[in-house]
Homo-oligomer: A and B are copies of this chain.
Amino acid sequence: MPFPPADDRIGIPALMRAARGSYAQAIRAHLAAEGIDDIPRNGAFVLSGLANGDESVVDMIRGLGVTKQAVSQLIDTLVLRGYLTRDINPEDRRRMTIDLTDRGRAAAAAICAGTAAIDDELARVLSPAELAGLRAGLAALGHIKERMKEG
């Protein structure tokens, strides 16, 4: 392991990479154990978003960092696979109202259980202070681009 590049520095890049891959795999494994193996990459995010108040495509774009077209397609395949329904919203006929099917609700539950399991495992391994640092650090990374523009 000749990485990370620097020495006394944080070396976030390598850590980040490893974390992201491993984390995604852990969730996928958890879902597979429940017999769910046809959820596309960002599908988990959409499903749990739906379970927590999101309703239309635009609602989902915010947290997701991709274009509306991508979300549209994503929803398309989730509808196709029986996780969602999509209907015109009568209050604003431009919008779509996306809803979970039973299958979708089950999947969303499994996803939440999976992330909760990861959270629990983290809580078991890390001290409360480390946990807080992790949250703060990830949040900071979330804004890092804007911050560096200013600074």
* Complex interface: chain B residues within 8 A of A115 (CB): 5-6, 9, 12-13
Q: Judge if A49 is at the interface, Cβ distance under 8 Å.
A: yes
If the complex has contacts A10-B123, A22-B145, A148-B121, are A2 and B52 also in contact, measured as CB distance less than 8 A?
Answer: yes
Interface residues of A in 1-30 (CB under 8 A from B): 1-6, 9-23, 25-27, 29
Contact B26 A20 (CB under 8 A): no
Cα A143 to Cα B19 in complex, Å, equals 8
Residue of B whose beta carbon sits closest to that of A64: B17
> A-side binding surface: helix, strand, loop or mixed?
helix
Number of residues from A at the complex interface, CB < 8 A: 71
B residues in contact with A62, CB < 8 Å: 1
A134 touches B131 (CB 8 A): no
* A49 contact from B3, B131, B137, Cβ within 8 A: B3
Q: Is the CB of A23 within 8 A of B16?
A: yes
Q: Is A136 part of the binding interface, using a Cβ–Cβ cutoff of 8 Å?
A: yes
Tell whether, in the assembled complex, residue B9 and residue A116 are in contact, meaning their CB atoms are under 8 Å apart: yes
- Partner of A125 from the list B116, B123, B140 (CB cut-off 8 Å) is B140
Whether the pair A137, B140 counts as a contact (CB closer than 8 A) is: no
